[in-house]
Structure 1
Amino acid sequence: MKYSNLFWIAGICLLIFSCGKKEEENCELDSEILNQELDLEIVRLEREFFDAKSQEDFSFLIEKYPEFTETYLRPDLYPSLDTLTAELLMIHQDSSMRTLNDSVQLVFNDFSDIEKELETAFKAIKYYFPEFQVPKVYTFVSGFNTDLVVTEEVIVIGLDYFLPPTHEFQPELARYMAERYDRPYIVPMIVTAISSQFNNTNPQDNTLLAEMIYYGKAYHFTKAIIPCTSDQFIIGYTPDEISECYANEEFIWSHFVQNELLYETNPFEIRKYMGEAPFTDAISTKAPGRLGRWLGWNIVDDYVMNQDVTLQMLMMNPDAELIFRQSGYRPRPPA
């Protein structure tokens, strides 16, 4: 049977993840996690930026927020601080940037929902990984230059990237990617980025399987930290795409096995299944891109379930081959 016909099977499934296995009925975090004390600082820096009037004001902001300055503005790339502040003033006076900021302030005037989500997520990370240091969070208007910067000390959110997909101002991204830049994706993107701090890998393992397991661990981490978040906002597939993937999981897996892809080391071949693309054309133009990441997530979930390992144990394990072998992974037949 051809893949296009197999994808038609997805119509049998309820489209709200009925074919999926990650949506939990009881997704609330334990009270022991939620009752932790946590100091989260969020600075709406774009407001202070557009309230500034002179180079002296920008010099003051540079000194006031050294973490943002070093991480985002990169003063080391400028001949002097005067050069940097002069450029900031020029950006500040640009009419299109001011108009963009006005739109951002309308959409993100109330940021309390995201602040609460971040606080809850950081509490969960801190609970499972006590060494986690809560980063300082800045919001900014980047002029569609940077969507997110996530380091161990600082997070910068380019709010202009996350205006609604129907908004007149949009980043220059392919449509399939631009649809993932919306308010509900902000916290999952941040949590997935933070997962890299704890995601141990074997740098000598350059196989497709190793990359699949890496992303599988990242997505499993994100789901464990923010369990009430829909898979859609973690992996960036639409509900229909998720249902279609589960309806065709047997076919997808057989393609990987029959073509002996798991131990492929050619970067070009690996990119076909892991890289950003509107579809995985090596399988079908109806199959969403990044299918290797989705498959890796399923393998990791099975490993955790079948081996009864904790989140900490999973993230510490650098052995992709072992995780795969002990997962007992088998694709689910379509419903």
Structure 2
Amino acid sequence: MNQHKITNLKSILIMIGLKKGRILQNLFFLCVGLLLWSCGGGDCDQVDRYEDIVVDIPVEHLEEEMKELKSVDHTVAFLEANRAMADYFLDANQYPNDTILAKRLLPLMQNVYIDSLFMEVGEYFSEFDSENISELESAFRIIKHYYPSTEIPRVQTVITGQYNDLYVSDSLIVVGLDFFMGHNGTYPPNDVPAYIVKRYMKESVSPIILSFVSNEFNQIDQSHGTLLADMINVGKSYYFVSQMLPCKPDSLIIGYTAEEMKLVKQNREIIWANLIQNQLLYETNHFVKNKFVGESPNVFEISDKCPGRVGAWVGWEIVEKYMEENPEVTLQQLMAEKDAHKIFQQSNYKPKNG
């Protein structure tokens, strides 16, 4: 696929109004990681403890059907047959009728250059079922252990010219495979900052999905509104994901490179001292809080080398320390605990560089 071809493809995406560069992660600061081989990882042995719990996640590779769309009527029928995906991933519910969306989607699927994208995605995700789905099934076995009534969702995969990345509900997960190629694709998403794009890879599919799944169980009290509460609320989510994916490195869960993870661990005391000395833990100004838990390439208030969302990482550390200090507390009790300040106080968090 040469530059001329991809330029034409991008132009078509823009003209037909299908590409919007919208990503669900930016709606909330739950993020996923980068290097599979870097830092951390939990107790992989515990995965075997849940093998007796039956979980079967059905997968539908809708991109194969999409590639064969031949007419507007055929496309409308496809949208109707996949109502939830159409409404919530392709935003069909924002159109007066499916025909309008079908007339925009069909030219993309019939474009002569889309084959190159399909081939590249197919090669990169050739083991999607055996790797990603198997990983999700393992995670949902653990979830079912703690929350037996949890519904097992089905998964649909699509290729839409990087229109969207992910949709997650309790019954359906839609994955935009082309978006999750990130920098592994010839042409990564061009409307997304590079420091976010670098997290998009096949190894990040499960962590980000489970970050959103954790919202179902993560009870929070927003009345406090402090930076500390935000840090711990997100930290609870990271902790949940780490328990569901015990073999995943911490870097894949938080979204740091190996160097970034090493840096924050080696400078725990400095990071914490900065938060304390500047009296930031009980800050309620959203602009100030966002500097430490929101999306950014770096937290310049601490250092130009300090990675973004470092406050969320500290929150995760506090939650881990809380669970170590209070072994009688179950995962369910942690996720149901709304008092973030209580978690902090009972964590006895006193960071040391590591």
Structure 2: distance between partners of 1:280 and 1:30:
35
Aligned residue number for residue 251 of structure 1: 270
- Of 36, 59, 63, 1:46 maps to 63
1:266 equivalent to 2:309? Answer: no
The SS at the match of 2:275 is: helix
Which shows bigger deviation, 56-65 or 306-315? Answer: 56-65
Aligned residue number for residue 323 of structure 1: 343
Aligned residue number for residue 132 of structure 1: 150
Which shows bigger deviation, 32-41 or 213-222? Answer: 32-41
Shift of 1:118: 1.1
Residues 150, 156 of structure 1: 8 Å contact kept: yes
Residues 16, 243 of structure 1: 8 Å contact kept: no
Structure 2: distance between partners of 1:37 and 1:67:
26
Aligned residue number for residue 178 of structure 1: 197
Aligned residue number for residue 23 of structure 2: none
Aligned residue number for residue 17 of structure 2: none
- Of 283, 304, 321, 1:302 maps to 321
Residues 182, 199 of structure 2: 8 Å contact kept: no
Residues 100, 169 of structure 1: 8 Å contact kept: no
Aligned residue number for residue 232 of structure 2: 213
Which shows bigger deviation, 66-75 or 44-53? Answer: 66-75
**What CA deviation, in whole Å up to 9, does each residue of 1:103-137 have, x standing for no partner?**
21222233121111111111111211122211221
TM-score by length of 1: 0.89
What letter matches 2:335 in structure 1?
M
Residues 43, 138 of structure 1: 8 Å contact kept: yes
- Of 50, 53, 72, 2:89 maps to 72
Structure 2: distance between partners of 1:134 and 1:316:
21
What letter matches 1:204 in structure 2?
S
Aligned residue number for residue 11 of structure 1: none
Shift of 1:32: 4.2
Shift of 1:146: 1.1
Shift of 1:96: 4.2
Aligned residue number for residue 102 of structure 1: 119
Structure 1: distance between partners of 2:166 and 2:47:
29
Structure 1 unaligned runs (5+)?
Answer: 1-14
Shift of 1:255: 0.5
Shift of 1:166: 4.2
The SS at the match of 2:175 is: strand
Structure 1: distance between partners of 2:222 and 2:76:
42
The SS at the match of 1:43 is: strand
1:82 equivalent to 2:99? Answer: yes
Structure 1: distance between partners of 2:206 and 2:101:
30
Which shows bigger deviation, 319-328 or 47-56? Answer: 47-56
The SS at the match of 2:178 is: helix
The SS at the match of 1:61 is: helix
Structure 1: distance between partners of 2:283 and 2:233:
15
Aligned residue number for residue 173 of structure 2: 155
Structure 1: distance between partners of 2:273 and 2:253:
25
Give the RMSD, CA atoms, in angstroms.
Answer: 1.7
What letter matches 1:303 in structure 2?
Y
TM-score by length of 2: 0.84
Residues 38, 257 of structure 2: 8 Å contact kept: no
Structure 2: distance between partners of 1:35 and 1:229:
21
1:143 equivalent to 2:161? Answer: yes
Aligned residue number for residue 278 of structure 1: 297
Residues 299, 308 of structure 2: 8 Å contact kept: yes
Residues 163, 169 of structure 1: 8 Å contact kept: no
What letter matches 1:93 in structure 2?
Q
The SS at the match of 2:216 is: coil
**What CA deviation, in whole Å up to 9, does each residue of 1:235-290 have, x standing for no partner?**
01111211111111011101111111111010110011011111110000011111
Residues 299, 329 of structure 1: 8 Å contact kept: yes
The SS at the match of 1:163 is: helix
- Correspondences of 1:50-65 after superposition (within 5 Å): 50-65=67-82
Structure 2: distance between partners of 1:299 and 1:97:
47
Residues 215, 293 of structure 1: 8 Å contact kept: yes
What letter matches 2:220 in structure 1?
T
**What CA deviation, in whole Å up to 9, does each residue of 1:301-326 have, x standing for no partner?**
01111011111111000111101101
Shift of 1:295: 0.3
Q: Percent identity, aligned pairs only?
A: 36
Which shows bigger deviation, 81-90 or 315-324? Answer: 81-90
Structure 2: distance between partners of 1:263 and 1:33:
40
Structure 2: distance between partners of 1:204 and 1:296:
18
Aligned residue number for residue 5 of structure 1: none
Residues 165, 178 of structure 1: 8 Å contact kept: yes
Structure 2: distance between partners of 1:200 and 1:43:
32
Structure 2: distance between partners of 1:223 and 1:147:
22
Structure 1: distance between partners of 2:87 and 2:162:
20
What letter matches 1:61 in structure 2?
F
Corresponding residue pairs, total? 315
Q: 1:179 to 1:73 in 2, by over 3 A?
A: closer
